[in-house]
Homo-oligomer: A and B are copies of this chain.
Amino acid sequence: MSFESHFPIWSQLQLHQQRLLLDSLTFQIVKRGTVLRGGSSDCAGLVLIRSGQLRALFYSEEGREITIYRLFDGDLCLFCAPCVIRSIQFGVTILAEKDTEFWRIPSGVYQGLMAQSAVVANYTNELMASRFNEVMSRMEQFMWRSMDKRVAAFLLQEASIEGTCELRITHEAIANHLGSHREVITRTLRDFQDAGMVKLSRGMVTILDQENLESLSIGRVIQRRKKGDPE
């Protein structure tokens, strides 16, 4: 798959704009765990993911962290290059959650395109709005939803991303995604286990009852099923 087929507005660019982009691109492969953007001042360029997974998070002053969104194949990481939009002042850390292959568009080149092309500027607008949706939805969850609902939703999302109910993830990692503490997550997961919804083992959470987890995540009352209860 080529850059041209991944970049959504490719066909709406003029020939010289297409050439400029292709000439300035770099293709990179990074290992899982690589920090693509660390502090608020980093601005190496926009990242278009060919394959892999990125995670945008932020840290509290005390070092707690929370995932604010994730990016997948074909997504463009606008906040990898916050300097392309002057008014962006918040700091987000972006790191590779999986080995990731991507094209990097230098910030200056992209800024030049935005300044001359309403198509590129409006595309950027839509990109930012998409991230805005995710942040607002995360904020909503954080503010109004109890931790058990959020953990349930997170497990289901992980299962959907990984395509399996056997999730290799630590309680610590779940806490870091949700801006919580390991102890809180462990307590919640044990409650889920008691209710027959998951099975816990070392470094692993296995979803046993997707339906009840779903009900819980959207706030319905759960039918508790304990060991020994009739099915």
Question: How many residues does chain A have at the interface if contact means C-beta atoms less than 8 Å apart?
Answer: 43
Question: How many whole Å from A218's CB to the nearest CB in chain B?
Answer: 10
User: Which one, A126-134, A156-164, A209-217, A222-230, is touching chain B?
Assistant: A126-134
Chain B residues within an 8 Å CB radius of A125: 85, 114, 121, 124-125, 128
Is A86 an interface residue, CB under 8 A from the partner? yes
- Work out how many copies of this chain go into the complex: 2
Nearest B residue to A115 via CB reads B118
User: Which one, A24-32, A60-68, A188-196, is touching chain B?
Assistant: A60-68
Question: How many whole Å from A63's CB to the nearest CB in chain B?
Answer: 10
Is A143 an interface residue, CB under 8 A from the partner? yes
Interface residues of A in 97-145 (CB under 8 A from B): 114-118, 120-122, 124-133, 135-140, 142-144
For the complex, give the distance between the alpha carbons of A120 and B138 in Å.
Answer: 29
For the complex, give the distance between the alpha carbons of A59 and B28 in Å.
Answer: 43
Is A88 an interface residue, CB under 8 A from the partner? yes
A80-99 CB mask vs B (1 if < 8 Å, else 0) is 00000111111010000000
A44-63 CB mask vs B (1 if < 8 Å, else 0) is 00000000000000101110
Is A179 an interface residue, CB under 8 A from the partner? yes
Known: A85-B126, A133-B87. A66 touches B143 (CB 8 A): yes
